[in-house]
Amino acid sequence: MTRLKSRHTRHFAVLGVGLALVTLPLAACSDDAEDDVVTTSQPPPPTAADRLEQAHDVLVDAGSVHLQMTGTDLPEDVNSYIISATGAGTMDPPAFDGTITARLAGVQADVPTIAVDGNLYVKLPYVPRHVRTAPSDLGVPDPATLFDPEVGLVGLLPQTVDPEFGDRSRAGAEVLQEITGTLPGEAVVDLLYAGDRSSEFDVVYGLVEDDWEVRTVTITGPFYPPAESTYTLTLDQYGAPVTVTAP
């Protein structure tokens, strides 16, 4: 009986040692796994400012783009301003070829326009050819400036104050992520040649989620104070071949 008990005692002792040896590496593996979890934490998701920076680079790299601009809530008592514009432009050099619908001296007109090499050529109503003029003479911005890679439309993105993510929406086959913020009046006036420099303007960008192209830019504020007006710009055909030459 004593011999049998001794045999059982040795058997359990050997079993206990074996279990201990098996448990040690498992515990070590568990510790290693915990260390891996700590050291491989995911980076924070991109912020709205990060997405605007990305969209800025995408637009600059495109080199050319098609633009459509439309104004709403425009005042009737202002003699000269842009109602809408459509055309294509390049960034190097900044240039534009399209049509501007404007109120000129109280009369609305569609004005075929070419802006290149610092010169502005317009085909005014009842004039058979383009004539060279200055934006200040017409009370409108130089449309070529919109495509300048530093001070043009793309230059508004890094000047956006307190950008935040807004709604997501579908526009045809594209999903747009809205980013909201404000723009200093000086930046808006320098670009669009209208507005109160001392005021802030609300801005809403629509960025395409797949490639972070800027698809829409909506700017609202005192373009013609005291009225609040809105200009919406739509950008597409990124990188399409565009050639702008003086007439």
Kindly state whether residue 247 falls inside one of the protein's structural domains. Answer: no
The verdict on 23 and 65 lying in the same domain is: no
The verdict on 23 and 140 lying in the same domain is: no
What is the spatial distance between Cα 184 and Cα 189, in angstroms, rounded to a whole number? 9
The verdict on 122 and 172 lying in the same domain is: yes
Residue range 203-226: average pLDDT?
A: 96
Give the pLDDT of residue 213.
97
CATH number for 203: 2.50.20.20
Give the pLDDT of residue 187.
95
The verdict on 107 and 219 lying in the same domain is: yes
Q: What percent of the chain has pLDDT over 70?
A: 83
The verdict on 163 and 68 lying in the same domain is: yes
Give the pLDDT of residue 2.
45
If one counts the domains in the chain, the total is 2
Residue range 141-152: average pLDDT?
A: 90
Encoded tokens for 13 = 């002792």
User: Considering only CA atoms, which of 179, 185, 184, 187 is closest in space to residue 153?
Assistant: 187
The chain-wide mean pLDDT, for the chain, equals 85
The domain containing residue 82 runs over which residues? 48-236
What is the spatial distance between Cα 134 and Cα 121, in angstroms, rounded to a whole number? 8
The verdict on 79 and 24 lying in the same domain is: no
This prediction's pTM: 0.81
What is the spatial distance between Cα 89 and Cα 167, in angstroms, rounded to a whole number? 29
The verdict on 152 and 83 lying in the same domain is: yes
Give the pLDDT of residue 5.
44
List the beta bridge partners of residue 164: 180
